[in-house]
Structure 1
Amino acid sequence: MVVEDIASLAMAYAAQLESAGYACVIADSGAAAIAELDRHGDRIKGILLDLQLPDTDGLELLQTNGGITSRWPVVVATADGSINRAIEAMRLGAFDFLVKPLAPQRLITIMRSAVQPLEALATPARTPVRAATTNGFMGFVGMSPPMLGVYRQIENVARSRATVFITGESGTGKEVCAEAIHKASPRGGKPFIAINCGAIPEDLLESELFGHLKGSFTGAVSDRIGAVQAAQGGTLFLDEICEMELRLQVKLLRFLQTGTVQRVGSNRTEDVDVRIICATNRDPEAEVAAGRFREDLYYRLAVVPIELPPLRARGHDIELIANTFLQRFGKEEGKNFDRITPEFARGLASHKWPGNVRELQNLIRRAAVMFEGPALPEEALPRMARLPRESAALSAEPVTGQSPACKDPAAPVAPLATDDLAGLLRGMTLDDIERLVVETAITDAGGSLPAAARALGVSPSTLYRKRERWIEQGLAS
């Protein structure tokens, strides 16, 4: 059913859909649409709904008739300036939205996806949306109240086509969340492709996403599809999306609106069908306000936001995760470890975990390699959890040159004595100190590696290389 009050547009949309093999019925108002659903709802498989109708607003129609989106897939059509209203329609249960003027092939592709039964999309290998054990859920470990809320969100969004915007500190499990949504969705048997937008140089990211033709730039020795086409039928996960340059954000927005990609060096567009999930460790609304992230792209991506809690806010989950990692890595090393002691668990709980679950994973992996067991000694705890109280204070507050006793901002600054600083760092290797400085700079920069690099006077690629090396050594947070 095409719900559009402008007769010429309604007839054009119907003609385009009929050319693809669909029979169409047209309703020119909200009242006519409701009447048609009441009379012939059984034969209607999908709805194209204009948000601007003569007798009602499309959003109001969906709000006051809640059964529409639960029974029929609804694709809303909106003008370019009201994308935020289309996003609200998707939150009310709409399948997807299109921006006018509607591209014929995009219209056909979206409506075909909308009316296709979920059973036809599903595969026997699709993971059920249920917790595997009493201690976890689809790759996650932990049953704290904040995580139970996340699990409910994953359950609700998994079978939808809506784009998902995952936020959270570095190491909280954003890619695990994206994979859980993908595996539990009708696309679970198709590819899951992950791209880190911050780890790929700007001049190569476009090619990585959209592909290129042979000879289109130096080093392009053959035709190559990008991540978008590699994820055909499945899910594309764009990690650290806020690190993407504005120029490429425009091209990503065009892909999202048209459902087509254009390889570097080509003048031909190609249709694709992928679901987008993205993530960032920054505050995306702050990035929009600062002009570093396009507002229209944010509206297009942030249909369903999911915020992952930091590890320090997950209580008993820390002990559960540590024991899970300890048994896994102990088995890999051919060792038998007991569950961690209450004293060791208290030591873990006292740590701030700036690197979250990734930091805990690396800590336990290192312990499984370095210690024979069956119990883990205190030396296996994070260094900051073992250092004297003064050293713990150093990790909690960055060194600014101001004396801790100096409470008045207008008072003269008392520099920290070199001997005091050396004493606090005693026992740490140069690599430990470098990691502490780098991680502190990243935290101060709100998780942005480029901003941290500017503060430290190095290039972002230097920080990425250092982190990659630390990850390989099992030291990164």
Structure 2
Amino acid sequence: MAVTILLIEDSNSLAVLYKQFLKDEPYNIIHAETGAEAIRTLERTTPALVILDLQLPDMQGDEILSWMENKSLDIPVIVATAHGSVDIAVNMIQKGAKDFLEKPIRSSRLKTSVAIHLKQAKLETMLTNIKEKLDRDRFHDFIGASIPMQNIYKVIDSVASTTASVFIVGESGTGKEVCANAIHKESNRHDKPFIAINCGAIPKDLMESEIFGHTKGAFTGATLDRKGAASMADGGTLFLDELCEMELEMQKKLLRFLQTGTFSPLGSSKEHKVDVRIICATNRDPLQEVEQGRFREDLYYRVHVVPLNMPPLRDRDEDIITLAQHFLRLYAKQDNRKFESISQDAQRFLKRYRWPGNVRQLQNVIRSIVVLNDEKSLGVQHLPNEIKVKTSPAKSSGPTHSIELETPQLSIETSAYVTANTAAPMPTNSAQPIRPMWQIERDAIQQAIDHCDGNVLNAAMLLELSPSTIYRKKQAWEAEENAFE
């Protein structure tokens, strides 16, 4: 079956030439002479690859790249232009292009680039299909396909059908209640109540009443009999969030309830028996709480039958953008805003931030951006300052410094060079002079490019780097050389 390629080129003679270059390959080439025609084609068909000329009669090629990004079209793009420069190449790669070809384009160069990127796209599609069969990107109210989340989904599948108590441990905002609810929904009790109690939000004097209920007159203000969470959850699941916040005396009463399944409402001597499954959660280290005497050891072993550790968002970096896009679409629709996508630069900042407040913090950040702005794409300018600022590792000889990242990738690579050059003491006796790491790297990259007759794509493959990395480094070196001229 022929692979469809969209060729966006305003010159008919060049379009004929490129088709001639590729005539021996099983490609179905669709030719568009203008940007508007290309967009109409992309709206009604999905080619396997796009060859894009930057200089079109009605628009610039980068406008088409931006349009494809906004529409979330994951199609490899090879940029072709007669006005080539390192700056343009870097810009196009950052906008999502896979390769950059300078005109006049050689036949072998075009064939190689097209074949490589079609093969890569095919492999990515195969991996995606396999991943979709084996993994889940959504599970009840969870969103995320990362390996840590796949492990969580598997544990939930395993424990849901049992009656075992589950103890969920995780930082605030990681989704402990979402996890408890998912266990309930997957269990045989899914059609029964799911009752959640936050032990850290209830005054200690009211905790017993909240869980076990009370009778009329049990205390001042108790004008009626009231069912507690244990009675309301009968046949279902009782979720005790922030269990380590519970007072020791109440922990003792809870332990008895877990052992016998019976309790007496506050102010009553009559025992009630219920059938509930207990799921607990905490954002503290429960063993440390036991050691400090704030949590009963016997209660710990009673509820800690199946431990489940919720991963922090910083360990789920591949889920960050998925979650951000979900929240963006959700709140844009809810508040009637235009937001449709997140720019590549903004995505880089989001992925590099540590997210101490986890998913809840990400949700609140996106919510705030949508409320305060009304644009089609979420850009770096919309992000809070704390996300755009990178904190350098503290040194023993001085305080930590914060710097604004204008070019995130360059900053990170520069810090890597500094680390590499300062990690070990310089030898005092050496037969050869010591050269800076950037000079060695520059010579290696230039040697690879010369070996490949100027073909950056092939050089990148030999060096096991991405073409964008080579273009970016060349840009930095040329800028440095120009500064000294």
- AA at the equivalent of 2:311: P
Partner of 1:244: 246
Picking from 277, 280, 298, the partner of 2:279 is: 277
Partner of 1:3: none
Structure 2: 5+ residue stretches without partners: 1-131, 405-485
1:348/1:382 contact within 8 Å kept = no
TM-score (norm 2): 0.54
Q: Give the CA deviation at 1:380.
A: 2.7
Equivalent runs, 1:126-275 vs 2, <5 Å:
134-275=136-277
Partner of 1:344: 346
Q: Distance in 2 between matches of 1:131 and 1:179?
A: 24
Q: Give the CA deviation at 1:214.
A: 1.0
Equivalent runs, 1:39-54 vs 2, <5 Å:
none
Q: Distance in 1 between matches of 2:233 and 2:275?
A: 8
Q: Give the CA deviation at 1:405.
A: 5.2
Q: Give the CA deviation at 1:168.
A: 0.6
- AA at the equivalent of 1:158: A
Q: Distance in 1 between matches of 2:334 and 2:278?
A: 35
Picking from 386, 389, 394, the partner of 2:388 is: 386
Partner of 2:378: 376
1:131/1:137 contact within 8 Å kept = no
Q: Distance in 2 between matches of 1:262 and 1:307?
A: 33
Instruction: Give 3-state SS (helix, strand or coil) of 1:267's partner.
Output: coil
Instruction: Give 3-state SS (helix, strand or coil) of 2:154's partner.
Output: helix
Q: Distance in 2 between matches of 1:382 and 1:154?
A: 35
Picking from 296, 318, 321, the partner of 1:319 is: 321
Q: Give the CA deviation at 1:382.
A: 3.5
Q: Distance in 1 between matches of 2:190 and 2:303?
A: 20
Q: Give the CA deviation at 1:381.
A: 1.9
Q: Deviations over 1:278-327 (max 9, x none)?
A: 10011111111211111111111011111010000102100000001111
* % identity of equivalent residues: 53
- AA at the equivalent of 1:171: G
Q: Distance in 1 between matches of 2:217 and 2:170?
A: 40
Instruction: Give 3-state SS (helix, strand or coil) of 2:332's partner.
Output: helix
1:323/1:339 contact within 8 Å kept = yes
Partner of 2:307: 305
Instruction: Give 3-state SS (helix, strand or coil) of 1:193's partner.
Output: strand
- AA at the equivalent of 2:183: I
Partner of 1:353: 355
Q: Give the CA deviation at 1:245.
A: 0.6
Instruction: Give 3-state SS (helix, strand or coil) of 2:240's partner.
Output: strand
Q: Give the CA deviation at 1:132.
A: 13
Distance 1:289 1:232, change over 3 A: same
Q: Distance in 1 between matches of 2:338 and 2:146?
A: 27
- AA at the equivalent of 1:156: S
Q: Distance in 2 between matches of 1:301 and 1:216?
A: 29
Partner of 1:108: none
Distance 1:239 1:131, change over 3 A: farther
Q: Distance in 1 between matches of 2:133 and 2:254?
A: 34
Q: Deviations over 1:327-359 (max 9, x none)?
A: 111110112322212211111112111100000
2:345/2:379 contact within 8 Å kept = no
Instruction: Give 3-state SS (helix, strand or coil) of 2:341's partner.
Output: coil
Q: Give the CA deviation at 1:367.
A: 1.3
- Deviating beyond 3 angstroms after TM superposition, the runs of 4 or more aligned structure 1 residues are 130-134, 404-407
Q: Give the CA deviation at 1:134.
A: 4.7
Q: Distance in 2 between matches of 1:371 and 1:133?
A: 35
Structure 1: 5+ residue stretches without partners: 1-129, 398-403, 408-413, 425-477
Q: Distance in 1 between matches of 2:163 and 2:255?
A: 17
1:325/1:365 contact within 8 Å kept = yes
Q: Distance in 2 between matches of 1:405 and 1:303?
A: 43
Q: Distance in 1 between matches of 2:133 and 2:325?
A: 18
Instruction: Give 3-state SS (helix, strand or coil) of 1:277's partner.
Output: strand
Q: Distance in 2 between matches of 1:312 and 1:227?
A: 34
Whose radius of gyration is greater, 1 or 2? Answer: 2
Q: Distance in 2 between matches of 1:236 and 1:345?
A: 38
Distance 1:131 1:298, change over 3 A: farther
Q: Deviations over 1:233-279 (max 9, x none)?
A: 11000000000010000000000011011111111110111100010
2:216/2:223 contact within 8 Å kept = yes
Q: Deviations over 1:27-51 (max 9, x none)?
A: xxxxxxxxxxxxxxxxxxxxxxxxx
Q: Deviations over 1:359-405 (max 9, x none)?
A: 00111111111111211132332331224x5xx35xx87xxxxxx65
2:136/2:150 contact within 8 Å kept = no
- AA at the equivalent of 2:370: A
- AA at the equivalent of 2:335: E
1:135/1:320 contact within 8 Å kept = no
2:342/2:379 contact within 8 Å kept = no
Alignment length, in residue pairs? Answer: 273
2:135/2:150 contact within 8 Å kept = no
Q: Give the CA deviation at 1:131.
A: 10
Instruction: Give 3-state SS (helix, strand or coil) of 1:316's partner.
Output: helix
1:351/1:385 contact within 8 Å kept = yes
- AA at the equivalent of 1:190: K
Instruction: Give 3-state SS (helix, strand or coil) of 2:307's partner.
Output: strand
Distance 1:245 1:271, change over 3 A: same
- AA at the equivalent of 2:307: P
Instruction: Give 3-state SS (helix, strand or coil) of 1:236's partner.
Output: strand
2:194/2:237 contact within 8 Å kept = yes
Partner of 1:366: 368
